[in-house]
Structure 1
Amino acid sequence: MREKGIKIPAKALNAVLSTALVCAQMHEVRKILHEVGGTVNLNLIGLTSVLQSYCSRYADQKAIQLGLQTTDILKDTPTDSEVHEVAETLLTYLQQSNDTVAWHAYFTYLGLFQSTETMMNCYHSVNASGQFSPDSWTLATLTLVHIHNDAPADCDEALALLAKMTAATSLRSNRFVIGTLIQVVLGYTIRIGNAKFARPSCDPSKTIEAQTFMEEACDNYGIVPDKAMLQPLIEAHCNEFVPNVDAAYDLLRYLRPNVKRSLFWQKKTSAPQTDFGSYHPLLIACVRLRDVGRALELIKEMQHLQLPSQSTASLIMQLWGVCTTYTEAWDVYKSLRQIGTWTTASYSHIIVLCCRLKLYNSTEDENPSPVPASFPLRLLGDMRNERMHPSTDTYTVILNHYAKAPNATLSGVQATHELIKKDIHLEPDLILINALMNAYNHVDAPAQVLGIWDSLVVLCNNTKSLDFLDDVSLVIVLDACGHAKLLSAARRALDSAQQLEKRARHGKILGKNVIDAWVECLARCGELSEAVEAAFSLQELADKKTVETLMRFVASAHVRKTISTKQWESIRGRVLARYPHLWDEVANII
């Protein structure tokens, strides 16, 4: 604008200056002031912004000097002479103005750099002369300066300060001032400035003092507490070493709707003022107390709310962490499902958490057990009913759970398989297909494993590639065939893989993991001699796992007398000769 000769309007200058005062260090602020010819060339609004910012920076630095800790990156402070210059310039403007915002900035300056008495004397003087007309923020400004200089420590001191300020200003107390004093009595650092300070450690005696102050102040001035006044008290009760949920819950009575009743009708005269923030501290306190029943009662009261998806998932995670039975966990989910906002991501997150649960099926059980298959399937059903489509990752998580859980059933895997087949929006990847095969393998369903494998082989033959299976697929098939003693099926699968690998333009299936699985399959099917030869064919690729697997089956056969001692010693000798570097680790397998 300067380059084009455009006169910069005061509003634009004030906007730039206000931004710099909040974000920049003092050398940048000074540069802007220098370019406009100093503070004498600022208008009333600009001077007010500068003085307010200077007072805030001064207060923040003073707090640090007193040892208060903050995580904010504090800006450097102006010199005292710079502050006095701005204040004196602003005062000259105020001789012809009754701008309340500007006067509030000047009162704050007097309270910080001189004393509260000087500030109050100035207030009385300009108020009496008509230069200043107090508004709703005047009492808050003057009280905040008093708090900054000498904060009340208990109920009596807070009441005395409030009475002194209302009497001196002839202003009626308001919720903001009382709420500020509540936080001060609780131990919060309330100061003029922009820095945020850590919350105080919860002291039950301070909580009692603060609540007593609130009740007496509200009674004295005819004020009904609002959420801003009650929230710090609710949090203080809930954050005590032993959370006082009853006391915190009792404070919610101020926020519930008033109800008029007669014999014939009942009518709510006001809407509830509670929100998720009101209940959240109580729910977390229930988590700390491991009181799931109380938490469910609170959630039932929250039916008028709609929780964001992140909060829903977070609450379920925390409450599931203290549930003891699957009945409790399911009740938590059902309750929060009614009031929570759900997305594909939140459902997916909950399903992951669900598969990790390990609780009791009933209170009579002595040991916890993995989550029943019906639990994640219900979550999938709810997800699909809301027209949300699980991703391949979500299905894979469930199938991997089935592949490890001792209580997994064939019906659970088949039900998940059916959902996958019916989901037209899903494009299964190889990781999901392998997880499905592995889940069927875990529930002893080799026919289903081989059926999926045959489908993959057909796809690879049609495309002359190995894009639709890998070594993991073949390892699962060999493992399933080994446990089911289906050696002929295992041979066919291995032959198919070899032929595919020869015809494919790129890719490789037959690696060490496949040979290890083939060795184990042969051994399980009683073909020890062939298993030995397969293991020795690996040569330098063999490792502890390979040799250990072989020796474990050979030792078992020797114990069962299905091979002679001579054969046993012969195999041990061959292992020692071929893999001397591994012998110490497998020699004790008997």
Structure 2
Amino acid sequence: MYLWCARTRLGPNVTHRLFSPALANHAFSNTRTGSLRKILAAQDVAAIRARYHLPQQQRELADPFISGPSRSPNEKEVLNDLTLLAASGRTGDLALLHVVLESFPAQCNLEITASTHAAIFDSFIASGHSSAALRWLETMNTKPGKISPSLSQWHAWIEAFGCFHQDTQFPFLFRSIAASGCQPTLETYSIAFTAMFRAKNPPKESAVRKLLRDAHQAGLPYDEGIVSSITKGYSAHRMVLVAEQMRTSYGKLYSRQVDPHADAAGLLQRAHAQGKHRATVEAERLRSRGFTPTRQTLHVLLAESVSIDEIRFWESTLRVRADVHAWHLVIQNRIQQTRSPDRAFQAYKEYIGSGMTPTSKLVDPIIRLLCMKTLRPPKESDIDRALLIYTDLFHATESGEPHAIIYNNLISALVSTQNTREYFPKALSLLEDMQSRNVEMDSMTATSITILLLRSSRTPTEAFHAYKRVSKRPDGKPALDAMGYAAVLNIFCKLTFGKDSIHTAIPAWEQYFEIVRDMREAGFPVNVKVYSIILQQLGLAATKVRKSQSRAPQQEGYYYKPPSGGGADIPSIQRAIRRIHQILLTDAAVQPDTIAWNTLMDAYQRAGCLREAYRVWESLWLSRSFDNASISIIADACGHADAHAEAVQVFPRIVKSGFEMNVRNWNAWLECLCRLGRVKEAVEVLCNEMGQNGNVGPNEDSVRVVLDFAYGKPGEAEVRRRIEHHYPELWKSPGLLR
């Protein structure tokens, strides 16, 4: 068992029991996420480090943008890596999680969104990492994306771990909630009291009174649910007198009269512990003495129940029909204790079967559980169940329900599935329902809907119209916030349509910049990354087109030369890159940085525009604003364009300037020389320049580049002899295939 003694907002010198077998059995048994508790294998962590070009030690990336054959991880892989690291919970893995999160935008040109933070937090919760989940909520707004936690996330933490923390810590916890920008509600206090009484020992009376006073001072109204949670909790510990004292204290805060027969629920509870027959006899005895059971009595008796049978029993015994609140108590308890979508949905079916009408408050936790994402999207069967519940709710409620949060959970689940053919029409139906009910979308919901519509579109024009459909609210105000626009732009420029269609690899850049214009008009700043995203996609599109048209052998690697006569798509990509270059130069609100110029230069060289790529390099050289990534890109450009004259202008100047090239730069220079047919010159650089005069020494990749190009050609034996002579240790390396 781990012990955490840290100075957090929960107060100094407080010991927290983080994770124990009891916690695992209590809250996380029989769940779909049981595998999350497994410790990450060393090879998994190593694979994640390699995916982000991370060194073995936990440190920041030296080169956040590296052009070359390494494939950047996509959004799905990144989220999977983040949640895996969170599920591990080990100190080293959490440190690596923060490094990956910091490198997320640079590696993938993706934005950190609320969904990113939610996936990590859900993984902490599902894995039982109490302190890590709490620290994540307390520091979310300082992490990449600057996202503030939602109140529902605070509720999830309390539900999962509240019973394992001393009751005196809850006032500090509520301060943390308020400090994060959330305002505790009656539901927050109800969840907190329920959690406090799940502990082995009852909470201190002073702590309960303190929370009750805080709720009153916060302006929250009197709530019978809170009274029920407290009285039921103390009654379960045979502290009926204390329970009534708490009821009296809470009532006095609101100048309310206390029911003199309120302790009857405690008597019934103790009788029930001895059997149903004893509870029935006790109910008749109390009735004969003038006690009249009410729904409030039923609420107290069901405050900790997870059984539908207990609802039936107490309805029959008390002769009181259970209302929505009673069912909500049992269903909420079942969700908290079992985390089982099947059992939650079964409880809902019994609720409907009893002739009850669904409400947003009752179905919200069920839908949230069915749509919950951890390491993988929710199952389609669970999504179908959630949609069925929503349909019941939609037809049963008046204008204003369902709440926006229910739409958000459903749409987020639909966005996460790959089965867009089936769920696209359902997403449109949800959107129409929201509009018909005048339910205002929050920015997160609008972003989720837009992304789903974009991914489900069949043409760029259809995708753009889908964006336009959601981008404005009925009052004309923008539906997306700054983060939403960034996410939509990122998705829009990566859309593909059809199967293996080269034309679809070209981003619809003109429409992309119309979205940029809308973003600017909405009052959100447009930064240089907006240009980097689309330029990178155009460069990748050029590579895809050249690869499809090339007849060169596969060993030429990631880059391909276009066939004679070129391809129909390459000129259009070249024109797009040139036009975006002009827009960038005339955009007074954007100051391009080195990464942006590198992206532009890389896009030019991938599209076969050596002259333009070289001009960008010359500009970087003259302003001394180039970096290591710039050198690797211009080396690729010269090598693939057969530009020896330019190459011999670039590298001697860099070496003479004293700029410290890293091993990737030297390897790019070696590959450039080899592609130009100058293998002997490459051998001279390898043997006589690398590792000399303060230059970085070669590695296995350096040797491998030269050997690959020398293979099967005259002079191969001499090349091998010189390398073995100069670098015997590298030559003997088992990782070097000879």
Normalised by the length of structure 1, the TM-score is: 0.62
In the alignment, what sits opposite 2:603? 439
Q: Which moved more, 1:542-551 or 1:386-395?
A: 386-395
**Residues 104 and 402 (structure 1), Cα distance of their counterparts in 2 relative to 1, 3 Å cut:** farther
- Mark the runs of 5 or more structure 1 residues left unpaired by the alignment: 1-15, 34-47, 63-76, 129-137, 167-176, 219-224, 257-270, 461-467, 502-507, 559-564
**In structure 1, what residue type is equivalent to 2:673?**
L
- How does 1:202-213 map onto structure 2 within 5 Å? 202=342, 206-213=347-354
In the alignment, what sits opposite 1:561? none
Q: Which moved more, 1:541-550 or 1:195-204?
A: 195-204
> Partners in 2 of 1:524 and 1:85 — Cα distance?
85
Structure 1 residue 228 corresponds to structure 2 residue 379: no
Structure 1 residue 401 corresponds to structure 2 residue 577: no
How many Å apart are 1:399 and its aligned residue?
A: 3.4
**In structure 2, what residue type is equivalent to 1:295?**
A
> Partners in 2 of 1:282 and 1:27 — Cα distance?
37
How many Å apart are 1:476 and its aligned residue?
A: 1.8
Structure 1 residue 214 corresponds to structure 2 residue 355: yes
> Partners in 2 of 1:579 and 1:89 — Cα distance?
81
In the alignment, what sits opposite 1:189? 333
In the alignment, what sits opposite 2:394? 252
In the alignment, what sits opposite 2:616? 452
Structure 1 residue 571 corresponds to structure 2 residue 705: no
CA contact (8 A) 1:479 1:517 kept: yes
Q: Which moved more, 1:439-448 or 1:425-434?
A: 425-434
**Residues 99 and 454 (structure 1), Cα distance of their counterparts in 2 relative to 1, 3 Å cut:** closer
Other structure's SS at 2:626 match: coil
Other structure's SS at 1:542 match: coil
How many Å apart are 1:496 and its aligned residue?
A: 4.0
CA contact (8 A) 1:155 1:213 kept: no
How many Å apart are 1:141 and its aligned residue?
A: 0.7
Other structure's SS at 1:189 match: helix
Other structure's SS at 1:404 match: helix
In the alignment, what sits opposite 1:109? 266
CA contact (8 A) 1:182 1:211 kept: no
- How does 1:24-173 map onto structure 2 within 5 Å? 29=205, 55-58=231-234, 80=238, 83-84=240-241, 87=244, 99-103=256-260, 105-113=262-270, 139-147=294-302, 153=308, 157=312, 161=316, 164-165=319-320
Structure 1 residue 487 corresponds to structure 2 residue 640: no
The number of aligned residues is 465
CA contact (8 A) 1:310 1:346 kept: yes
**In structure 2, what residue type is equivalent to 1:57?**
G
Percent identity of the aligned residues?
20
> Partners in 2 of 1:243 and 1:85 — Cα distance?
46
**In structure 2, what residue type is equivalent to 1:487?**
H
- How does 1:316-327 map onto structure 2 within 5 Å? none
> Partners in 1 of 2:452 and 2:317 — Cα distance?
41
- Structure 1 residue aligned with 2:507, among 372, 376, 399? 372
In the alignment, what sits opposite 2:585? 421
**Residues 162 and 330 (structure 1), Cα distance of their counterparts in 2 relative to 1, 3 Å cut:** farther
CA contact (8 A) 1:237 1:247 kept: no
Structure showing greater radius of gyration is: 1
Normalised by the length of structure 2, the TM-score is: 0.51
**Residues 587 and 183 (structure 1), Cα distance of their counterparts in 2 relative to 1, 3 Å cut:** closer
- Structure 1 residue aligned with 2:703, among 541, 547, 567? 547
Other structure's SS at 2:540 match: coil
**Residues 242 and 311 (structure 1), Cα distance of their counterparts in 2 relative to 1, 3 Å cut:** closer
- Structure 2 residue aligned with 1:273, among 401, 410, 414? 401
CA contact (8 A) 2:303 2:329 kept: no
**In structure 1, what residue type is equivalent to 2:634?**
V
How many Å apart are 1:27 and its aligned residue?
A: 8.2
- Structure 2 residue aligned with 1:179, among 324, 337, 342? 324
**Residues 437 and 285 (structure 1), Cα distance of their counterparts in 2 relative to 1, 3 Å cut:** closer
Q: Please report the RMSD computed on the Cα atoms of aligned residues, expressed in angstroms.
A: 5.0
Other structure's SS at 2:592 match: coil
**In structure 2, what residue type is equivalent to 1:443?**
A
CA contact (8 A) 1:87 1:109 kept: no
- How does 1:488-567 map onto structure 2 within 5 Å? 488-498=645-655, 500-501=657-658, 508-540=659-691, 541-555=697-711, 558=713, 565=714, 567=715
CA contact (8 A) 1:400 1:435 kept: yes
CA contact (8 A) 2:527 2:590 kept: yes
**Residues 424 and 110 (structure 1), Cα distance of their counterparts in 2 relative to 1, 3 Å cut:** farther
In the alignment, what sits opposite 1:243? 384
- RCO higher in 1 or 2 (8 Å CA, sep ≥ 6)? 2
- 1:394-439 CA distance string (max 9 Å, x none): 4434433344342582234334434433333333222222222112
> Partners in 2 of 1:89 and 1:300 — Cα distance?
48
CA contact (8 A) 1:554 1:568 kept: yes
> Partners in 2 of 1:147 and 1:523 — Cα distance?
78
In the alignment, what sits opposite 1:343? 481
> Partners in 1 of 2:227 and 2:389 — Cα distance?
43
How many Å apart are 1:524 and its aligned residue?
A: 2.7
CA contact (8 A) 1:470 1:509 kept: no
**In structure 2, what residue type is equivalent to 1:202?**
D
- Mark the runs of 5 or more structure 2 residues left unpaired by the alignment: 1-167, 173-191, 210-223, 272-278, 372-379, 546-569, 692-696
CA contact (8 A) 2:424 2:456 kept: yes
> Partners in 2 of 1:312 and 1:547 — Cα distance?
52
> Partners in 2 of 1:553 and 1:473 — Cα distance?
24
How many Å apart are 1:139 and its aligned residue?
A: 3.7
> Partners in 2 of 1:250 and 1:86 — Cα distance?
38
**Residues 200 and 210 (structure 1), Cα distance of their counterparts in 2 relative to 1, 3 Å cut:** farther
**Residues 281 and 85 (structure 1), Cα distance of their counterparts in 2 relative to 1, 3 Å cut:** closer
> Partners in 1 of 2:532 and 2:479 — Cα distance?
24
CA contact (8 A) 1:347 1:383 kept: yes
> Partners in 2 of 1:272 and 1:52 — Cα distance?
28
CA contact (8 A) 2:261 2:291 kept: no
**In structure 2, what residue type is equivalent to 1:417?**
H
CA contact (8 A) 2:231 2:247 kept: no
> Partners in 2 of 1:252 and 1:235 — Cα distance?
16
